[in-house]
Amino acid sequence: MKPAPFAYHRPSTLDEAIATLAADPHAKVLAGGQSLVPLLSMRLAQPSALVDINGLAELAGIRVDDRGVRIGALARHADVLASAEVRRTQPLVSLALAHVAHATIRNRGTTVGSLVHADAAAEMPVVLTLLGGSVEVASVRGRRTIAAAELFLGPLESSLAPDEIAVSADFPALPAGAGVAFEEIARRHGDYALCGVAALADGETVKAGFVSVSDVPTVVDLSGVPAGERGAAALAELDPVGDIHATAAYRSQLVRVLTERVVGSAVRDAELRSREGAP
Amino acid sequence: MSEELHDVRLSVNGASYDVRVPGRRLLSDALRHDLGLTGTHVGCEHGVCGACTVLLDGAPVRACLMFAVSAQGQEITTVEGLARPDGTLSNVQQAFVECHGLQCGFCTPGFLTTITAGLRANPTPTHEECREMVAGNLCRCTGYQNIVRAVERAAELGLDTPSLVPREGSSTNEETP
């Protein structure tokens, strides 16, 4: 359970980090390491080099304005979760982060790292997809913005090129009168969810995103589906698989029950926010 | 070809240690093997069990999910650093004794560091908050009832680890309720 040897680089500027990464096609970026280090220790991944970006304080910021929340690549989950501004501007980010592993892991793990790790059993990829957010990446070739819809290609596979570093993620603000909710079922709070649901209700539009149900973060449009039929409607768009943690039948039942519950909460949240926002 | 080594200065429990380690040396192994601080235990080595939990600038982190080279410049507190300067037990340690919060003791260092930081962030936890505070740590003896009781007892005794009380103006990583 020890990592294979690798060259270790700790750049002090982003330009240096980008150049170091570009020089070695088998190098990986190390931020919080909460998902990467277990992969290294179990030798499921053996990169030739690690580019440790923990020295790049310029990437640690969280910026909040009317348009939304921009989270720097080095911002820890705990920092984002502690931000009252984030909670006010896009409450779904805070609601979901409370379910990301345990407090100890959140102290070290980064939100952007979780996004580019592209695990469909993780909360933040689904939240980014549901909200229509994006990730900004940098390389020696310049910068580009990847929309969430184009980011997640397969299990643990993102559309970042090997020489690209994710520098920030943008979560759009919650529009006035819209509502959100998040809930998941895990054997122990903080463990990987057997099934999790995020929901966004914005006027006539109602959408739900699913954690641990499919290979990539999946969002289902439930606009116009009446209460009581949302669980079945969501399940019709999904194909939950069984694994060691839950059978396909049990996971399907969780989709039915959680969809009804979470979408209902998001709709009520929207009503509440509309009343609060009314003059 | 021999592996490249890095000179690293680790600050642990108020003392500085200079070590020469490969990039892949886990912080948990550096503490145990290079520094001889074997209080930090290594269980699962992939971040699940929590036995290796140490405090990094006051916030609990998994020492098995960090490389020693990454810890340079930060203050590490291990279970050896929790007792009072005169060697008597901290209130969290005392509470474990009183409530029989340890059986075989393997997971105890991780629980003690986790709870010390947890009570600093939330000195008056509810029963549910006590349970959640230790939810990321596994006890192979399944002694959880007494461990949760020890958290509640430690909260009654109050916070007493002066070196861990955040200095004014210093930032911490704890989440707010």
| A108 chain-B contacts, CB cut-off 8 A | 56, 61-62, 65-66
Q: pLDDT class for B2, splitting at 50, 70, 90?
A: confident
Q: Best interface-test mutation with B: which of A83, A86, A107 has the largest number of B CBs within 10 A? A: A107
What is the full DSSP assignment across A87-128? HHH-HHHHHHHTTSS-HHHHTT-BHHHHHHHT-TTSHHHHHH
Mean pLDDT of A10-35: 97
Asked if B78 and B12 count as a contact pair (C-beta separation under 8 A), the reply is yes
How much is the ipTM here? 0.93
Instruction: Write A149-156 long-range contacts (CB < 8 A, 24+).
Output: A151/A115, A151/A116, A151/A118, A151/A125, A152/A118, A152/A120, A152/A125, A152/A216, A152/A217, A153/A118, A153/A216, A154/A118, A154/A215, A154/A216, A155/A118, A155/A119, A155/A120, A155/A215, A155/A216, A156/A117, A156/A118, A156/A119
Alpha carbon distance A115, A219 (integer Å): 16
Mean pLDDT (chain A) is 96
Asked if B124 and B171 count as a contact pair (C-beta separation under 8 A), the reply is no
| A81 chain-B contacts, CB cut-off 8 A | 175
Q: Is the pLDDT of residue B1 over 70?
A: no
A30, A84, A107: residue with CB nearest B173 = A107
Instruction: Flag whether residue A123 sits within 8 Å of chain B, measured between CB atoms.
Output: no
Residues A100-120: pLDDT tens digits? 999 999 999 999 999 999 999
Residues A146-205: pLDDT tens digits? 999 999 999 999 999 999 999 999 999 999 999 999 999 998 878 899 999 999 999 999
Residues B128-140: pLDDT tens digits? 999 999 999 999 9
Mean pLDDT (chain B) is 91
Continuous segment of H or E residues that includes residue A259 = helix A248-277
Tell me if B67 and A52 make a contact (CB, 8 A cut-off). Answer: yes
Residues B63-121: pLDDT tens digits? 999 999 999 999 999 999 999 989 999 999 999 999 999 999 999 999 999 999 999 99
Q: Best interface-test mutation with B: which of A102, A110, A189 has the largest number of B CBs within 10 A? A: A102
Closest CA in chain B for residue A102: B136
Mean pLDDT of A123-149: 98
Q: Is the pLDDT of residue B170 over 60?
A: no
Which stretches does DSSP call E strand in chain B?
5-12, 15-22, 53-56, 59-62, 75-77
